[in-house]
Structure 1
Amino acid sequence: MSRVVGIIFRPVATKSQHSQPYQSLPLFLRELREEAGLSQRDLGRRLGKPQSWIYNCESANRRVDITEFIGWAISCGIEPGAAFARFLEAETRRQGRKKKE
């Protein structure tokens, strides 16, 4: 915290979707969509959302909740449990590599 001419500056809070632990999920969502051969527009149509919503999820401008993750997986033709297991496996490997560094 610093003081300049009577104004107190505090560190700005980071939105949760911009936190380091969240960063791998948007990449994973994009990977699911691309593996399904879908454009952002195609996936948006399947989910009843605009293309910009898909973009914002994939670029971490918008946080995805579990119900949206389920719909995303189904729309990409993958069983949600299998998609989540795959994500967890990749995250576990990534976390293991981080600890070794």
Structure 2
Amino acid sequence: MRKAQHARDYQCLPVALRVMREKAGLTQRDLGKALKKPQSWIYNCETANRRVDVAEFVRWCRACGVDPVKSVRALCDQLK
């Protein structure tokens, strides 16, 4: 996979993270407190300035009250 395509594919994750947080009614600061991370960390994840690993994704989902497995399936569907 070319680098540009990989970067384009990754963009769906930060968008999904932001939408998930907003649907949960959380601010970046609220989510940061729940994850024991600064607000700037949340911002960097949501703007693709920082990549999110699987464990971080699972914790993010749980903090937002979302099933991580369903979230991964939804992301996979977007990449088809």
Name 1:47's counterpart in structure 2.
35
Structure (1 or 2) with the greater strand fraction? 1
Query: Alignment partner for residue 62 of structure 1, among 50, 54, 64?
Result: 50
Q: Identify unmatched segments of 5+ residues in structure 1.
A: 1-13, 93-101
Q: Give how far 1:90 is off.
A: 2.6
Equivalent residue in structure 2 for 1:76, among 45, 61, 64: 64
Structure 2 unaligned blocks of 5 or more: none
Structure-2-length-normalised TM-score: 0.87
Q: Please identify the structure whose Cα radius of gyration is greater.
A: 1
What's the counterpart of residue 26 of structure 2? 38
- TM-score computed with the length of structure 1 as normaliser: 0.70
**Which is bigger in relative contact order (C-alpha 8 A, separation at least 6)?**
2
Decide whether aligned partners of structure 1 residues 36 and 69 sit closer, same or farther in structure 2, where only a CA change above 3 A counts.
same
